[in-house]
Amino acid sequence: MEGKRSCLSSSIPSDLLRRIRKLTLSILTNLSNGQSPVVQIDRFRNYCTGTSGNCYCNCGISVGKELLTLQRECHTRRLDVLLRVLLVVQTLLQQNRHGSKRDIYYMHPTVFKEQSVVDRAINDICILLQCSRHNLNVVSVGNGMVMGWLKFSEAGRKFDCINNPNTAYPVPVHVEDVEIDIIGVARYILVVEKESVFQRLANDSFCTRNRCIVVTGRGYPDVPTRRFLRLLIEKLHLPAYCLVDCDPYGIDILTTYRFGSMQMAYDAKFLCVPEIRWLGVFPSEVEKYCLPQHCLLPLTREDKTRVEAMLLRCYLRREAPQWRFELDLLLARGLKCEIEALSVQSLSFLSEEYLPSKIRGGVYI
């Protein structure tokens, strides 16, 4: 599969339309012959919980196949949804137009019932057609924001963030149309988990003072944010650091940036950012920065279950053992905190002391 997907970015509508015709013709031929069509969908994963070390996670290699037939009612519904979404995709490609996942959902809301059904069908179609989602002209409604020492253009529109380095700009949705102006002025890229911290840094003129680029996905990052971040790193060759809450969700967001998500494991090679480093907030820093008890919260049962599950992921054992150490510590202490807890020192402590000192001192993992 990896070999077939090596030229994803060069997939063109005519090629995809040919694959759509081939897939639908196969289904129609089976039906006309009185046979139940069988649609084989490769399955991928970006991590496993085995301890042997002999896994193929995140290698672009299928770990099995799922067979959809009309013999099972749940499969019939999935095939119905898949073909409806495929028809929309075909129209978008033929007309050279773009649509969002939400647009597609509202075309048949009584059939789809919920957005996740459409999302799953789009992922299945990407696997069947051996392409990425943006090749289908299906786009996300972007949540990400960027600011700092950067110039870029998207489909002819120019964005000069350098003129106002502490002003937020939306992350471009059509990342394939983005051109980065390589002028070599930024020193590094900082990814922050959430908008509140992003705004704190903007208010403190962090980018002006530190000559950097700051990106946020405002929680779990969407596809455009991840693709844009990957593009920045590939084009600018800058170090990238990630700042997240000291809790299971923050660390899970961190792993999404670096290793990808299970839902889109088939495209992990084109979405993950292996260069990114964890800058904080580490569980081991709670005592170092003398965070008072009222800034700490006990882990919930759900938090503990999430940490225990994360500790089993093969990529942490294989590539990020220090992250596992911090997760172990988080679980052992049973306490979590937000990035904003650092403000107990002073409102500007995060931007003026914590971040600059860690980056200068190489205190990241």
Provide the pLDDT for residue 6: 38
Q: Report how far residue 181's alpha carbon sits from residue 158's, in angstroms, rounded to the nearest whole number.
A: 10
Active-site residue, selected from the candidate residues 47, 56, 105, 106: 106
- Residue 138 corresponds to which amino acid? V
Q: Report how far residue 270's alpha carbon sits from residue 330's, in angstroms, rounded to the nearest whole number.
A: 31
Q: Report how far residue 59's alpha carbon sits from residue 222's, in angstroms, rounded to the nearest whole number.
A: 21
Q: Report how far residue 288's alpha carbon sits from residue 290's, in angstroms, rounded to the nearest whole number.
A: 6
Provide the pLDDT for residue 182: 67
The top-level CATH class assigned to 12-139 is mainly alpha
Q: At CA 168, angle to CA 167 and CA 171, rounded to 5?
A: 145
Provide the pLDDT for residue 3: 37
Instruction: Please provide residue 38's backbone torsions phi and psi, each rounded to the nearest 5 degrees.
Output: -120, 120
Per-residue pLDDT 10s for the chain (365 aa) are 333 443 343 447 889 999 999 999 998 888 888 888 888 998 888 888 877 667 777 667 888 888 888 878 888 888 999 999 999 999 999 999 999 999 999 999 998 999 999 999 999 999 999 998 889 999 877 789 999 999 998 888 898 999 999 999 999 988 888 888 766 689 999 999 999 999 999 999 999 999 999 999 999 999 999 999 999 999 999 999 999 999 999 999 999 999 998 888 888 888 999 999 999 899 999 888 888 888 899 999 999 999 999 999 999 998 999 999 999 999 999 999 999 999 888 889 999 999 999 999 999 99
In 169-316, beta strands by DSSP E: 169-170, 178-180, 189-192, 213-216, 240-243, 277-280, 297-298
Provide the pLDDT for residue 127: 93
* H/E segment holding residue 22: helix 13-32
Provide the pLDDT for residue 53: 63
Sign of the Cα pseudo-torsion (247, 249, 250, 255, in order): positive
Q: Report how far residue 343's alpha carbon sits from residue 42's, in angstroms, rounded to the nearest whole number.
A: 48
Q: List the CATH code of the domain at 145-361.
A: 3.40.1360.10
- Residue 42 corresponds to which amino acid? D
Strand 138-139 and strand 99-100: the pairing is: parallel
Cα dist from 105 to 12, 95, 139, 340, whole Å: 24, 19, 13, 37
Instruction: Please provide residue 337's backbone torsions phi and psi, each rounded to the nearest 5 degrees.
Output: -155, 165
Provide the pLDDT for residue 8: 40
Helices and strands (H, E) in the chain, number of each type: 16, 15
Concerning whether 220 is annotated as a catalytic residue, the answer is: no
Which residues have C-beta within 8 Å of that of residue 235, sequence separation ≥ 6?
180, 182
Q: Hey, where are the domains in the chain?
A: 12-139, 145-361
Q: Report how far residue 193's alpha carbon sits from residue 145's, in angstroms, rounded to the nearest whole number.
A: 11
Return the CA Rg of the chain: 22
CA 57 to chain centroid: 17
Instruction: Please provide residue 246's backbone torsions phi and psi, each rounded to the nearest 5 degrees.
Output: -85, 65
Q: Kindly write down the DSSP assignment for every residue of 138-188, as one continuous string.
A: EE-----EEEES-EEEETTEEEEGGGSTTS-EEPPS-GGGEEE--------
- Residue 228 corresponds to which amino acid? F
Best CA proximity match to 272, nearest among 308, 315, 313, 219: 315
Provide the pLDDT for residue 83: 93
CA 54 to chain centroid: 25
